[in-house]
Chain A
Amino acid sequence: MTGFLLRRLGASLLVVVGGSILVFGALRAIPGDPIQLMLGTQGVTNPELVARYTERFGLDLPAPVQYLYWVGQLVRGDLGDSIVQPQSVGDFMRMRAINTAVLGATAWVIAVLGGTGIGVVAALLVHRRMWVADYALSGFSVVMISIPSFSLALILMIIFGVNLGWLPVLGMQSVEDSGLLDRLRHLVLPAVTLATVPGFVLGRIVKAAITDALLGDYARTAYAKGLSERRVFLVHVLRNAMVPIVTNTGLMFGGFLSGSVLVEFMFAWPGLGRGLVNAILARDFPIVQGITLLILVIFTVVNFLVDLSYGLIDPRIRYARA
């Protein structure tokens, strides 16, 4: 088990380092200079100013040197300063990360509960051979999976925000009222929008996993023991169906925590995703690097936890690692 953990940690570290190098290099390879973008016409008329800023952010150095310098800062817990914003990258990310986490965690809960529910219902429809209902639900799922999130955002905004007037459509809170209820009301539409596609995808995975497990020889044995349908399902089938479900929900969690650019953009949610898009447009290298690093770390940690959880679910994996 220790060997497994060490190997797994080493691999995670490689992913983070490799990913950060890739982002670092890509930023410097694409056209567009952050200093010139920031200074605009001022920069065109004043090349000395450009040179001074370029030196101030170390952009005149060779890329590998810049990277090592950045890593050096990182080790001391410093993500550097934003080029465009008058604040450090850490300050820029802090609030936005929390906002994204609130939205992401809410969306995750909705997607996991909704997706599992849909999947279980769909599997039972197959088990009971209710084909019409099964086709209807499958068809509806495909439609929901196929709707781009920006379209869904607009549809939900028009229905629940404009026509019915039930829910606010922009931002995290109202100007005049910033109580908990108000914040929750702001959370509903973006969270539902974000949860929809992954939720229905999860529903299909859950359905397939349960349908498979129900056909297993061990399910037949369970029936032959005289167990009730409910017990066969809850004790014998569900646990076997857990591995693909946990994989999917885990990876989904990573995706949500690292923010959804489109949804945050549509709902004016002040999160990391929107911050990342704006930073890329402005070629604000340190912010892009900081946010992508956080995303990398979140993904590898979640992946690691998902991997560990397999052992809890499936003894075969547990023993293979021992």
Chain B
Amino acid sequence: MPVAATRAGTDPTPGLKETHSAEHAGERSQNDSVLLRVEKLRTRFHTKNGLVRAVNGVSFSIGPGEVVGIVGESGCGKSVTALSILGLIRPPGEIVSGRVLFEGQDLVGASSGTLRRIRGKEIAMIFQNPLSSLNPVLTIGFQIQEAILEHDRIGRRAARERALDLLQRVGIPEAERRLHQYPHQFSGGMAQRAMIAMALANRPKLLIADEPTTALDVTIQAQIIRLLHRLSGELGMAVLFITHNMGLVAENCHQTLVMYAGKIAESGATDDLFARPLHPYTQALLACVPEVKGERHDLIPLEGFPPDLTVESRGCAFEPRCAQRFDRCPIEDPEPRDAEPGHAVRCHLY
């Protein structure tokens, strides 16, 4: 496996794959174990430079307790996908079509009341920059208690107890004191822990983690990932993990979706996908990940830039950068097809 370790590791993180993947991995086609199903989601933004098709027909599903990773370059639409699920896309962006079925209920076009009952209660979200995602003028305790009280009819004191418990649970020392502090008194890692505590306040069934460690330094990154692991296992919580770090996906996710230019280029069980990357884009991404253990190999950078999403291309969006392109690629956009059971790829080669 070429991506074994981006973390220089004497301490291999116990992957969720090992802990409780058996009952989910490989049986994706069964409908009975679907928590969230996204179908042909299209989200676009009206900008001065034209219509940006940020998410252009994305479909995938997540089972209960499953950890799914979306990986891709900046601007490939992975964050927009996450925001679309919770209906947090704001003008000039809009969800054009598609469905987001959470436990069978379509969240696209759902009333604001329905969305509010789901946000923070059934599906919680944490973001890339924890310090700016917390309100600077309110205490951490207030912000966590607010999340609890919004969805749960309990007293202030009980909410405070729960907030305290949550802070301890996410490994914040001196939680009692921390409760009264403001975000600027937290380091980035501690702030992300506080965000996680807030997200877990109502024991959501799904946590969307949008680049949760990108703004943190590497050692803190590992701690946060390990924490998310542990909590996901303890609570049986599904996680949609969005990142541009191939290593993190390889270690942590049952399923992996590789996104390119608003579409899913390749998807499958993580082990399959990393063992046999099919799409030239996935192969290129793996070729530019350094290895710490194992043999030395040259890093091959992926040349070129992601396409301009305001221009609707006729052919495959990856074609201009693809080393294996042929005459069909610029003319026809490939449809996703199962190259192996549970391993889909959007490429004319297969």
Contacts and interface: CB of A to CB of B under 8 A. Distances in A.
Contacts of A224: 86, 88, 119-120, 124-125
A76 B281 CA distance: 85
A226 B121 CA distance: 8
Interface in B135-159: 135-138, 146-147, 150-151
Contact of B135 (A218, A226, A229): A218
B192 to A, nearest CB: 12
A165 interface: no
A223 B136 contact: no
A316 B150 contact: no
Contacts of A222: 135
A226 B88 CA distance: 10
Nearest to B136: A316
Given A224-B88, A225-B119, A226-B117, A218 B150 contact: no
Given A218-B133, A236-B138, 10 more contacts: A217-B127, A217-B133, A221-B195, A224-B120, A226-B120, A226-B147, A239-B138, A314-B137, A315-B137, A319-B182
B127 A221 contact: yes
Contact of B118 (A220, A226, A227, A319): A226
Contacts of B134: 218, 221
Max chain B Cβ within 10 angstroms of own Cβ: one of A226, A229, A236: A226
Contacts of A236: 135, 138
A313 interface: yes
A226 B137 contact: no
Given A223-B119, A227-B150, A239-B138, A218 B132 contact: yes
A226 B129 contact: no
B184 A221 contact: no
Interface in A177-232: 216-218, 220-229
Interface in B80-124: 86, 88, 91, 112, 115-121, 124
A216 to B, nearest CB: 7
B198 interface: yes
B185 interface: yes
A316 B184 contact: yes
Contacts of A223: 88, 119
Contacts of A221: 127, 133-135, 195, 198
Interface string A290-322: 000000000000000000000001111001000
B135 A240 contact: yes
A319 B180 CA distance: 13
A148 B133 CA distance: 44
6 contacts: A220-B88, A221-B127, A226-B116, A235-B146, A239-B135, A240-B137
Nearest to B92: A129
B119 A228 contact: no
A319 to B, nearest CB: 7
B137 A239 contact: yes
Nearest to B151: A226
A202 to B, nearest CB: 21
Contacts of B136: 218, 240, 314-316
Given A240-B136, A315-B184, A225 B198 contact: yes
Contacts of A319: 182, 184-185
Interface string A127-169: 0010000000000000000000000000000000000000000
Interface string B191-217: 000010010000000000000000000
B101 to A, nearest CB: 19
A228 B198 CA distance: 17
A129 B182 CA distance: 33
A239 B182 CA distance: 14
Given A224-B88, A224-B125, A225-B120, A217 B184 contact: no
Nearest to A221: B133
Interface string A234-247: 01100110000000
Contacts of B118: 226
Shortest 4 CB-CB distances between A and B: which pairs? A226-B120, A226-B119, A225-B120, A218-B135
A225 B132 contact: no
Nearest to A223: B88
A190 to B, nearest CB: 37
A215 to B, nearest CB: 9
A216 B151 contact: no
Nearest to A225: B120
Given A224-B86, A225-B146, A316 B133 contact: no
A320 B211 CA distance: 30
Nearest to A242: B137
A265 to B, nearest CB: 43
B246 to A, nearest CB: 26
Nearest to A236: B135
Of B129, B133, B134, the most chain A CB neighbours within 10 A belong to: B133
A218 B135 CA distance: 5
Contacts of A315: 136-137, 182, 184
Contacts of B146: 225, 227, 235
Contacts of A316: 136, 182, 184
Contacts of A129: 91
B102 to A, nearest CB: 13
Contacts of B182: 315-316, 319
B129 A217 contact: yes
A168 to B, nearest CB: 45
Contacts of A226: 115-121, 147, 150-151
Interface in A235-275: 235-236, 239-240
A221 B138 CA distance: 13
Contacts of B116: 226-228
Q: Find the residue from B127, B135, B146, B195 having the highest chain A CB count within 10 A.
A: B135
